[in-house]
Structure 1
Amino acid sequence: MEDLVNIERESLKESSIHRLDGRIKLMVTFIIIAFAVGSSSISILILMELYLLILITLSNVSPAYAIRRLILILPFGGFIALFQPFIRPGDVIWTGPLGLDVTIQGMVFGALLLGKITVSVTAIILLSSTTSMQELVGSARRIGVPSDFAMLLNLTVRYLFFFYDELERIRNAQKTRCFDIWNKNTPYRWRLRKVGETIAMMFLRAYEQGERVYLSMLSRGYTPDSRMYTVRTNPGRGDLLFVATNISLLVILYLIQPGLWW
């Protein structure tokens, strides 16, 4: 939850990229990810990663913070690339124990897969670090995301921090009663039961809060046909320049890609 707070704190900074229209940043992120996924050149992926790191630096987002987030997220998909040299058929360059063979094709494919994942995650980090959660939901709604899905996202973002505060109150109450989940002197089964009670209590409070919110929405005229209010804004010159710059860069990378040897 502390990471969510840090993300929101970074998104409230001031820079030219922070001031861009959320729809523009969202669509450019999708385009960059689609281009990275379809790319077959490691050199192109390296250039795209360097470009995204430059944007992160220009957006006044701490590079150390962005790299730390990248390191934390990358292992969830990066480990798949590590197995490719051992499971992908091709020219064997090394034979290890237990009959594991390392192939050139596997190493190339693994490096390519790791590059695609890295570029995609970096693009998402740039988007989330320069756009608040509420603005992301509103931007998604304005580019055509179904209203029901957008409303669920909106409610999730709005009450995520509320439930974190509820959890903190429960944990503080437990601490005042000398409960510590990591205390090895306490029987394991008793600690496990208390954790289960905490989860059950959070579930009940979430259900009760959901009922209160729904009744409040009904009392204010909410119906299944209601639509979320979104502020209508037109892209400015900076937004159009940002789109043109990114599309031009991707076109150039696409044109020079056949001339690269790797």
Structure 2
Amino acid sequence: MSLAPLKMKRLALSAGVALAFAVSAPAFADESVPQNDLLNATLWMQKSVEYKGNVLGTFALARIRLDEALADKSWTALPEMQDAAKVSDMPTAIILDCDETILDNNLYEAHLVKDGTDFSPKEWTAYVNSEQTTAMPGAVEFTQYAASKGVKVFYITNRTKEEESATATNMEKLGFPMGGNVDTLLTKGEKEEWGSPKGSRDQLVAKDYRVLLMLGDNFSDFTDDYKGTLEERQAVFEKAQSHWGKDWLVLPNPEYGSFESAPFLSDYKLSADERRKKKIDALDGWTPKN
């Protein structure tokens, strides 16, 4: 038998396989997949049960600490603003950050990853105004528990005053207790002196309430001394050692925050590659022996 027909059959089969592969191959087979520093963090925060477990655990601890604080009339999370010997008769309050503390913005973060874009204040405001933000696991239940104990719940956020109305409506729909006749949603720029640092807003609450707990995902939710070098931030952290896990409770957020900008000292004039290089240089790594 001549080998020509067999060769022709093999060629036809090979061509058919190649065509089938070309049709079924994923669209990115011939293209590089864009790299994005947010990918793993966003995937973890949006899809992992480990993240949900971390958040639920933090709010479970918050209930325990709240009960302890209510039983101790000298307990205050802001001793530099309040005299523990004079706060026993004050009404009680807790202070919570919003984004990535009680409000989950992973739809927006995933948009940045999937569309290959960067944070845009204008686009962020459009997202806020869409009122699609969801609640962190356990956040609504914790705030409702605090309110049931007669504790006023304050939300100190760097969402802006222009975003306050949509934020309040979104939070009310989710079930967060709001202030009634007291302004409990304190936004950036709501007063002229209210910039990104939150200390002046903390002080406003501390003037009339015994602050039992502070909850946040960023160092800046607890102190205005959050900026500086990595070493300076570590020193501030150690100075506040008695607060962590007691009256200052931290939610995990590997997506963004002052931790990420500290290695390049918040110098956003640097290119993305220059910022990334400084973050890599800040890491302490193991060196294998030859």
Q: Give me the TM-score of the superposition, normalised by structure 1.
A: 0.22
Name the structure with the higher helix share.
1
Name the structure with the higher strand share.
2
**Relative contact order, CA 8 A, sep 6+: which one is greater?**
1
Larger Rg: 2
